[in-house]
Structure formats: structure tokens, C-alpha cells
Amino acid sequence: MTSRRQFIGATASLLLPLPSWAQSFPTKPIRYIVPVAAGGGNDMIARVVTEKWGRILGQTFVVENQSGGGGVIACQTTMRAAPDGYTLMQGYVATHGTNPATRKVPYDAIKDFTPIGMIGATPNVLIVNSQVPVKNMREFIDYARKNPGKLSYGTAGQGSLTHMTMELFKQETGLFILHIPYRGIAPAFNDLLGGQTQTMFPGLAAALQYIQSGRVRALAVTGPKRSPVLKDVPTMEELGFKGFDAMQWYGTVGPLGIPADIVKRLNETQVATLKLPEMREKLAIEAVEPMPMSPEQFSQFIKNEVKRWSALAKARNIQLEE
């Protein structure tokens, strides 16, 4: 149950004076574009958040899935929409991080959008097949150095976060581990479990069932702190990899030019939504930790992501042809 204090805190922003164009906002349902097909974790997060967000905002969100082009179609639809707050999109690490860094996309992740706010993030986890004779990071690095060319890692595809995170790890350690790209994370896991590949750096939500069953071994997680579902697994930061906080993140953006007061209203109600106790529980299904931010903080976050992955793509010579 939500306490009276929590309810007051969640709705206090609605009582702030707003200019004429924002006083009545929203007066109709809000279109919420999700840049992936229905049914996955990204889609689930959108539906869970917008259902509660709509209640606080006093209007319905209509979730619309627009998959295709690695998020390009959804991004183009969003950037071309009227900047009135009635069309929003769930941007994430691919649309506003790794894709602009590794390929030519017909949008500018920074200049063509209005950041509304961060939703949350899930860490990536460095895992090895249980038959690999290592139990921790130090042993893994030693084993890889003593067996050059014998280790390979699978990913969800060229330029995916699973690819970029492992390349960041290889850059930090100087290890040679062969990249095997797949069409999605499921076939990559099939070969890891079968021993055709030996290691991977997937999102925690995808890996958790295999970690818990003992079929793979978790060596480290990304992010600023240990995952509550893997309390015994250290962070990369703890192991000496400073700033290694690559994560699968999700947030809300709209077309460029949404009036500041409408952005403020959307952000404050989104933050109130993320602070609801039940929201943390629902997002935990996808191992997502709520990370509410102001529009300014989220804007800077996106800039940092594009900069980080662009620098890595250049250093590792990762540039994909569409």
C-alpha cells in the first residue's frame, strides 16, 4: 500500500502553477512509441511504467510498438511528430547510445529529441560456461592470457550492447577473445550453453535463469553497485575497472521543441511514478533498477553515452554498414 505521505509526494508536482498551454495538459491520450516488437522486456517496461504514470498524470498512454531498423523507424516517427507532449518514445541504450556510435542513422540522438527522463537500467554480467575452469575475474583473465585465441564470445549482433561491452572489457584488459555475432541473444546463449563459445557479457535479465541453474558462472556485473539478485557477484568497479558502468538503460524522449513546462510536468509525474514502491517490484522482473532523473540530467546522460560508445567504436574499428 502507498502511504499518505508517498501519495502526497507523488502528486505534489501537479499542484504547481503552470502557464496556459500546460495548465490543461494532457487533455487527450498520449502516444508512447516503443522501438521494439511487443512481448520483450523493453515492451514490458513501457507498459508497466505508463500504466501507473497515466494514473498520476490523469490521462491514458497508448503504447505503440514500432520495431524495425534497430529503432530507426520509431526514432524517425518520434522526431517528426508535433512537439506538443502527446507523442513520446521509450529511448534506450541502442537508439540513443550504441547505434549512433556504430552506424549511420537518419537522426541525431542528441539534437533531434527532447529528453523527458530516465526510467531505469539493468546491469550487464560477465559470464562463462560452467566448464571453463575459472571461478573469479582474476582466474578468468589469467586463463585467457595463457590460452590466446582459444576463447570466443557470442553477442546479440554487431554493434549490440553485448558486443560493445565485451569490446570495452577487451580494451581494458588487452585480452584476445574472438567475437561470434548472432541474430539475437537466444542463439548466442544456445552456443554458450553448448560449449561452442565460452563467455559472454549479456544483460542480467537474460542471463539470470542460467546463472541460477548453474549452467553459467557470473564473474562480475556492470553498474554502480552490486545487483540485489546477485549479491555475491562483485561490480567491475570493485575489481578495479574504473568507470566500467555500461548498462542496458531505458528512458523517455519526445520530439525536439516540447515546451519546457510540459516537459517539467511529464518529468515530475514520471519521477513520482518511479518512486512508487510497487514500481520497483514490477521492474525487478526485468532486473531493472529505477533511476529517476531530471530532464537536464537525462540529457547529459545521453550525451555521455553517445560519446562513450563512439570513442570505443573508433578505437576498436567498429563501424557497421546498413
Condensed to tens digits (0 to 9), the pLDDT of residues 215-233 reads: 999 999 999 999 999 999 9
* pTM recorded for the entire structure: 0.90
pLDDT for 322 beyond 70: no
Mean pLDDT of 86-114: 98
pLDDT at 24: 86
Q: CATH assignment of 125-221, given 2.115.10.20, 3.40.50.300, 3.30.9.40, 3.40.190.10?
A: 3.40.190.10
Query: Within the chain, which residue ranges are assigned CATH 3.40.190.10?
Result: 125-221
Query: Within the chain, which residue ranges are assigned CATH 3.40.190.150?
Result: 4-122+248-315
- Give CA–CA dist 180/149, Å, rounded: 13
Condensed to tens digits (0 to 9), the pLDDT of residues 236-294 reads: 999 999 999 899 999 999 999 999 999 999 999 999 999 999 999 999 999 999 999 99
13 or 30: whose pLDDT is higher?
A: 30
CA dihedral angle for residue 182, residue 99, residue 291, residue 56, rounded to 10 degrees: -100
Instruction: Give the burial class of 99: count Cβ atoms within 10 A of its Cβ; 0-12 exposed, 13-18 middle, 19 or more buried.
Output: buried
Residue 149 — very low, low, confident or very high, per pLDDT cuts 50/70/90? Answer: confident
CATH code of the domain made up of 4-122+248-315: 3.40.190.150
Show the cell assigned to 298.
537525462
